[in-house]
């Protein structure tokens, strides 16, 4: 008969690998690395039970029950918002989806300020789509310094499973997502990824924008007039990291990155996209 867990053998693997770690700092990824590989057979039964015990204790402390009592937060989980689908044959603005479905009433143009010289991040929800076909940035007036351009890129956002991170902070640039765009005098500027740009369905990301070089005159662009507060600031809907390099979209950020409200443009700039599955 299998002995109860308190009377089990001294752990040869689970506890030594996790010793001196607080439960609140143990992530699902950590447990996966500790338990992979453990073959499912009698001689490993005790270690498998200990792994389950540690995971249940971790979930109890963190209140993180995804995958046990609820659907996972990414991939095939239930979407946070109703999926968008553009009309068949649409060729104008209705062919594009807002990156942030929390924003509405686009208009009331704003000028990109000098903080356009470093990246500003804004919310981006993938819905049911798993590939980006096209992005769009909307301008309303002055094009800024003649010949200048900007760039945008999509970043993954941290979740409760990422140890040491606050939830909802930009982490790493998504492959093939960086694209340059021309600063126009008005209307929609469409940008196509150079290679396949893959996203996870029903997942929050950020889209970061930055100027590619120095501006003497900054462009003006559409912005949201109504929006739900995002990242906690009532006037601006984005984030900006301290210590950024001008005209550069970094490959990654870290848990020590300091974030503040992005003031590149008042509220959320009109950045939209078109997706496919």
**Domain edges within the chain:** 7-62, 93-276
Mean predicted confidence (pLDDT) in 202-230 = 84
Distance CA 153, CA 212 (A): 13
Residue 47 backbone dihedrals phi, psi, to 5 degrees: -65, -35
pLDDT in tens, 84-119: 666 667 777 777 777 776 666 677 778 888 888 999
For 218, half-sphere exposure in the C-beta direction (CA atoms, 13 angstrom radius) is 15
* CATH topology assigned to domain 93-276: Jelly Rolls (2.60.120)
Instruction: Give me the residues paired with residue 95 across strands.
Output: none
Return the ∠ at Cα 271 (arms to 119 and 95), rounded to 5°: 155
Cβ within 8 Å of residue 58, ≥6 positions away: 23, 24, 26, 31, 64
- Express each pLDDT in 123-133 by its tens digit: 898 888 899 99
pTM of the predicted structure, to 2 decimals: 0.64
H or E element at residue 270: none
Task: Tell me the DSSP string of 29-45.
Answer: HHHHHHHSS---SGGGH
């Amino acid at each position: 008969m299998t002995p109860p867990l308190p009377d089990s053998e001294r752990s040869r693997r689970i506890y030594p690998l996790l010793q001196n770690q607080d439960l609140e700092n143990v992530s699902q990824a950590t447990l996966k690395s500790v338990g992979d590989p453990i073959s499912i057979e009698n001689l490993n039964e005790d270690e498998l039970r200990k792994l389950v015990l540690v995971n249940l204790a971790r979930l109890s402390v963190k209140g993180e029950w995804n995958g046990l009592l609820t659907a996972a937060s990414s991939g095939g989980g239930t979407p946070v918002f109703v999926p968008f689908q553009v009309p068949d044959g649409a060729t104008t603005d209705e062919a594009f989806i807002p990156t942030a479905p929390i924003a509405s009433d686009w208009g009331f143009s704003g000028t990109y300020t000098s903080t356009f010289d470093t990246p500003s991040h804004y919310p981006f929800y993938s819905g049911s789509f798993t590939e980006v076909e096209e992005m769009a940035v909307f301008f309303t007036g002055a094009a800024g310094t003649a010949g200048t351009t900007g760039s945008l890129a999509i970043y993954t956002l941290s979740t409760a499973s990422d140890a040491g991170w606050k939830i909802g902070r930009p982490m790493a640039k998504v492959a093939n997502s960086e694209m340059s765009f021309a600063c126009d005098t008005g209307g929609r500027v469409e940008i196509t990824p150079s290679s396949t740009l893959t996203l996870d369905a029903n997942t929050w990301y950020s889209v970061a924008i930055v100027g590619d070089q120095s501006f003497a005159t900054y462009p003006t662009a559409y912005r949201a007039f109504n929006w739900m507060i995002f990242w906690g600031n009532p006037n601006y809907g984005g984030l900006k990291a301290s210590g950024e390099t001008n005209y550069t979209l970094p490959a990654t950020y870290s848990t020590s990155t300091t974030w503040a409200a992005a003031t590149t443009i008042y509220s959320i700039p009109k950045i939209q996209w078109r997706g496919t599955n």
